[in-house]
Amino acid sequence: MPATAPPDFAAALAAGPLVLDGGLSNQLAAAGHDLSDALWSARLLADAPEAVVAAHRAYFEAGADVAITASYQASFEGFARRGLGRAEAERLLTLSVELARRAAAQAGAERPLRVAASVGPYGAALADGSEYRGRYGLTAAELEAFHRPRLEVLAAAGPDVLALETVPDADEARVLLRAVRGLGVPAWLSFSVAGDRTRAGQPLAEAFALAADVDEVVAVGVNCCTPQDADRAVATAARVTGKPVVVYPNSGEDWDAEARAWRGGSTFGAAGAAPGGGRAVTGWLADGARLVGGCCRVGPREISALAAEVARARR
């Protein structure tokens, strides 16, 4: 595998903004893969690993500096429901990082390419939309028992950073922040939000503040929200934590959890509302964003436009 990144991810952020990829699931779906399974894109780790490589490579070739792995919905419990034992689950979690590294090698870019190991919330493993609500009825100890083992496996696989993403609840964030301690890999913490609150209803400023003094966390922000909510959150995250900000919203369409389908139109790329129009990206960067990209329904075309905007801002 190539030497893709400096050993210190925080130093890379300090050197300038990095571009994240877009939605892995929509890129896989666009290639004709069925993601209706409860494991979502994680199913393809076992069934079609080269498809995952191709999706990552498409984003690298579009200008992304960081690929987020296909482990968002991967868990020991979820794999067990498919009849896969612990050893195989560990192999697939590790493989998620290896596939992103393979894509980086195939992309042949002259710039450093990095890998973020995706760690979705507990609700993602339920595959019922719970990650957009939080409040699972579990104790902190039960949540840590779920998160820590897979964090250990992903950290051992050697990603550049752990992406604690789409977190809907400040209580779960507390657990994740405790669970990343001692792993030896930096992390970012990214909430899913509605307006100025987490999906579970806590004030966003208070949720961000949980990470302010956690040394392992190198960036704090939002993802899997509307571009408009992302606009409002970036400055708050920077002000409250003093850390670099990570921001990667959805297209602006609405997810219908019952129908498992997207509704409405995209605002990602609309002038003044999201990347491509110019004001949002430059505004995010001015407000403290150092990791910028897209989430659900944002594809390589949108990431290419965002990367061009970031490149202009770097000059």
Q: Average of pLDDT values for 255-277? A: 61
Residue 274 in this model has a pLDDT that exceeds 70: no
pLDDT of residue 271: 42
CB of 19 closer than 8 Å to CB of 310: yes
Residue 223 pLDDT class (50, 70, 90 cuts): very high
pLDDT of residue 32: 79
Residue 58 in this model has a pLDDT that exceeds 90: yes
pLDDT of residue 201: 97
**Strand-strand pairing, 193-194 and 197-198:** antiparallel
CA 16 to chain centre: 19
Alpha carbon distance, N-terminus to C-terminus of the chain: 30
> What span, in angstroms and rounded, lies between the C-alpha atoms of 22 and 267?
15
> What span, in angstroms and rounded, lies between the C-alpha atoms of 231 and 228?
5
Least confident of 65-69, 203-207, 253-257: 253-257
> What span, in angstroms and rounded, lies between the C-alpha atoms of 302 and 312?
16
Q: What is the CA radius of gyration of the chain?
A: 17
**Strand-strand pairing, 18-19 and 66-68:** unpaired
Residue 110 in this model has a pLDDT that exceeds 50: yes
Q: Average of pLDDT values for 157-168? A: 98
Q: What is the pTM of this model?
A: 0.91
> What span, in angstroms and rounded, lies between the C-alpha atoms of 312 and 315?
6
Residue 273 pLDDT class (50, 70, 90 cuts): very low
Nearest Cα residue to 246 out of 191, 315, 312, 172: 191
What are the structure tokens assigned to 73, written together? 């919905």
Residue 270 in this model has a pLDDT that exceeds 60: no
pLDDT of residue 253: 75
pLDDT of residue 269: 62
Task: Give the containing element (helix H, strand E) for 51.
Answer: helix 49-62
Q: What percent of the chain lies above the pLDDT cut of 70?
A: 90
**Strand-strand pairing, 217-223 and 197-198:** unpaired
User: What does 104-164 look like in DSSP terms, one character per residue?
Assistant: HHHHT-SS--EEEEEE--HHHHHTSSGGGT---S--HHHHHHHHHHHHHHHHHT--SEEEE
Identify the three-state secondary structure at position 46. helix
pLDDT of residue 260: 66
Least confident of 88-97, 228-237, 265-274: 265-274
Q: What is the pLDDT of residues 275-296, one digit of tens each?
A: 544 557 889 999 999 999 999 9
**Highest mean pLDDT out of 143-157, 222-236, 262-276:** 143-157
Nearest Cα residue to 182 out of 155, 160, 203, 207: 155
